[in-house]
Amino acid sequence: MVNIVYAAPYAAPVPDNIRRWGGITHRWTGWDGSTWDLSDVEGGVFLLNEGLEGLGMPDITNYTHDSPVVHGVSWDGWLATGRKVFWSVAVFHDTDSEGWIARHRAFWKTLRPGKAGVWSVELPTGEKFSLTLRFKSDGGHSYTNDPVHRGWEVYGIELFPEQPFWEAPAVVESWGAEEKVPFLGPDGAAPPFFPSPAATLSTAKVTNPGDVETFIQWTITGPTETVTVGIGSARTVVPFPVPDGSKLVIDTNPRNLIAELDGVDVMERLSEFNYSPLPPGEGIALSLSRSGPGAVEARFTPLMLMGV
């Protein structure tokens, strides 16, 4: 009798240095709310690595001036003027022509002119960045085969952002009234007095982990009598009360300058308004003061030069 023993084939162990490498997860969220995992080959719509543009540095314009008596130029500053984004996107369906047509139309619906979607990336480190994009061109795409018949087509898609920096998750810091502990004096005869957490406000600092400056959106929740918010000497002063339960939102982003109390414009009621940017770095001192027990919140989005 011959005894036959079946065993699994030998598999060589994966070296540790290979285990350490992971890839980028790409997602596209269309203006219609649909989400597409562009890293999932089995999902039917995915990015090809060839020719991928947009993860690197934005387009930079340097401003200089020259002199008739000094060689060279003097540097005055720079601006990120845009960013080219190019995708090679495969759209396929392996069931039937009707399925390919439905998937094709659903994806291209997210790229309507005049509408914006969000390209999100997640790195193996867990870091997440996003870029809001608009459709620009398909390069005058031509079909060399019938895509409905074969259920497969690759497109070269060019997009562009209005804001050229990659956005990290928002940072939110808040300073509210501390727990009220009444101070009644040595004999307990004095009327209740609640010490203010002014020291916390006066020493408020934030860290901007981004690569470039960004802008703060302030939210003041009543009740407050007067409030001052800002960065260094650039202050915004609210000289009027914010009632209990009301919210005053002050956005210092030059693209969206607003001051609204419960949705009503109050910009003209501010005695001072400054919208200086928050520079990148740690421990940036803020200028905060408040009368009343309400809360002050600072929200800002760190901006990154690159998506990796």
How deeply is 132 buried, as exposed, middle or buried, from its count of CB atoms within 10 A (0-12, 13-18, 19+)? Answer: middle
DSSP symbol at 210: S
Considering the domain architecture, whether residues 130 and 199 belong to the same structural domain is answered as: no
Considering the domain architecture, whether residues 69 and 128 belong to the same structural domain is answered as: yes
Domain holding 203: CATH number? 2.60.120.860
Considering the domain architecture, whether residues 185 and 299 belong to the same structural domain is answered as: yes
Considering the domain architecture, whether residues 156 and 182 belong to the same structural domain is answered as: no
How many Cα atoms are found within 13 Å in the side-chain-facing hemisphere of 217?
17
Mind listing the pLDDT tens digit for each residue in 120-177? 999 999 999 999 999 999 999 999 999 999 999 999 999 999 999 999 999 999 998 5
Of the candidates 147, 167, 187, which is a domain's last residue? 167
Indicate the pLDDT class of residue 50, thresholds 50, 70 and 90. confident
Where are the strands (E) in 40-182, listed by range?
45-53, 59-67, 70-82, 85-92, 116-122, 128-137, 152-160, 166-167, 171-175
* Residue 271 pLDDT > 60: yes
Total structural domains in the chain? 2
Where are the strands (E) in 106-170, listed by range?
116-122, 128-137, 152-160, 166-167
Provide CB contacts within 8 A for 1, sequence distance 6+: none
- The mean pLDDT of 228-235, rounded to a whole number, is 93
> Per the domain annotation, does 8 fall within a domain?
no
Considering the domain architecture, whether residues 193 and 114 belong to the same structural domain is answered as: no
Of the candidates 167, 200, 233, which is a domain's last residue? 167
Report d(CA 50, CA 156) in Å as an integer.
10
Which pair of tokens denotes residue 90? 């495969």
- Which residue range forms the structural domain that includes residue 133? 16-167
Mind listing the pLDDT tens digit for each residue in 191-220? 443 444 444 788 899 999 999 999 999 999
Mind listing the pLDDT tens digit for each residue in 73-120? 999 999 999 999 999 999 999 999 999 999 999 999 999 999 999 999
